[in-house]
Each structure stands twice: as C-alpha cells, then as structure tokens.
Amino acid sequence: MEKVKRTLGRSYGQFCGLARALDVVGDRWNLLIVRELLPGPMRFNELMTSLGGIATNLLTERLRTLEAEGIVERRLGEAGVRYALTPWGAGLREPIEAFVRWSAPLMMTGRDGGSFQPRWLAVALPALLREVTADPALEIGFEVEGALMVLHVDEDGPRVEVEPDRRPDTILKAAPEIILGLAADALTIDQALAAGHLRGDIQILRSILPPGRATAATTPDPR
C-alpha cells in the first residue's frame, strides 16, 4: 500500500531563513551530497563511495527529498541516471564555502585518519582563495592522491576544474593537508618545501599566495 507518511525530517516551524534552510538541507548527509555535486553531476554509486558510509536507503531517501525540494535533479542520460544540482541548489555553494572558511582551524589539526576525495579540494580551494585574483589569468595543476585538477585564477577569482581536458604546463604534487594549509595561509611555501611535502614549480604559487605568516607552528586549534 502507499506510504502516506511524510514527516520528511521534523520542521522547526520557525519563520526564519536559517530555520527554513535547515528544514530543507539540515538533515544528516544532505549538505555533503550537495558538496559532492558542486563540481559536477554524479551517479548513485559514485555518491555512495565518495560519501563513504551512507546507507543505500538513506542516500535514496535524501536524493528523493532534495529532488522534491528543487535542489537536485535526476538526469537520465545514455549512461544511466546522473544526479545534478539545480541552479537554486548550486546556490548552496555560498553557505558551504563559508563553512569551509570557518572550519579551517579544524583542518589544521591534520588528516587524522579521515577519508579524502580530491573533488573536495575543488570546493575548498576557491572557498579559501576567495579574494585572490590574477590578471593575466593563470592556471596551476595539482596532482593530489593520484587525481589531477586545475586551479584557474583570473580577475574574477579562483575556480577549480576536475578531470581537465588538457594537462596544464605547471603541475604540483602535494598531499591534501599541504594544499589546504597553503590555501588557508596556515603554512608557508617554504615550510611545505622544507618538509618535502611539495614538489614542482612553485613560482606561480608564490604569485597568488599571500607572503605567509610564520605562525603555522603555533597551535591553530581554537579550543
């Protein structure tokens, strides 16, 4: 029989923008699903493995809810179903980027066994480098955990492309925590080089990163 049920997560019942936003995307996993889709559409199983640990029924239910809310849309292509953000759903980039900036101190405690997906950097780097511009435009390749991505910087700001069509001239190899430390200005280029965690031509890097404070060794943990 049909399920009439439909509490779709409890509503806070408040006439407040934050509360209404959380009514829609506040349930567990929802914002992480949006984060996954920000760099581009994905299939169900890609979401499963990238999110790591979400149960199949939950992912199904979340995608259905997000679709009903107008945040995610199903695209039926020749290769099967792909999930993509609607324009309104892509607007969640702003609060997500704000969270990424706010949480920078939490990242400086190190990776600590957490899982990692290169595409997360495609979200984090523009968030952390928000005010960086370059004219003429430049691009830097990053090879992280075997995946290649390209950071484009022009007068409008930074943008990251995953799985680029062509390889950029400059490619840096580094661990994710090094890239993040540099972008969050919690680590200097010299420190990264000295530790042997950064390889490649770093001249372009110097041009876009702030001079870098030598405070990286101090505890950035706010607690």
Partner DNA sequence: CTGCATCCATTTTGATACTG
Partner DNA sequence: CAGTATCAAAATGGATGCAG
Question: In the window 11-50, what residues touch DNA (CB under 7 A)?
Answer: 27-29, 43-46
Question: Measured between alpha carbons, how far is 85 from 41 in angstroms, rounded to an integer?
Answer: 7
3-class DSSP state of 103: coil
Selected range binding DNA among 3-11, 131-139, 159-167, 214-222, rule: CB under 7 A: 3-11
Separation of alpha carbons 77 and 102, rounded Å: 37
How many whole angstroms separate alpha carbon 97 and alpha carbon 123? 7
Q: Using CB under 8 A, which residues numbered 38 to 77 contact its own copies?
A: 52-53, 68-70
Decide: is 146 part of the binding site for its own copies (CB under 8 A): no
What span, in angstroms and rounded, lies between the C-alpha atoms of 30 and 68? 13
Identity of residue 221: D
Q: Which stretch binds DNA (CB under 7 A): 52-60, 94-102, 123-131, 175-183?
A: 52-60
Q: Are 118 and 147 in contact (CB under 8 A)?
A: yes
Residues in the site for its own copies, rule: CB under 8 A? 12-24, 26, 28, 31-32, 35, 52-53, 68-70, 86, 88, 91-92, 94-107, 111-117, 120, 123-124, 127, 176-177, 180, 222-223
Residues in the site for DNA, rule: CB under 7 A? 6-7, 9-10, 27-29, 43-46, 53-58, 60, 63, 74, 80-82
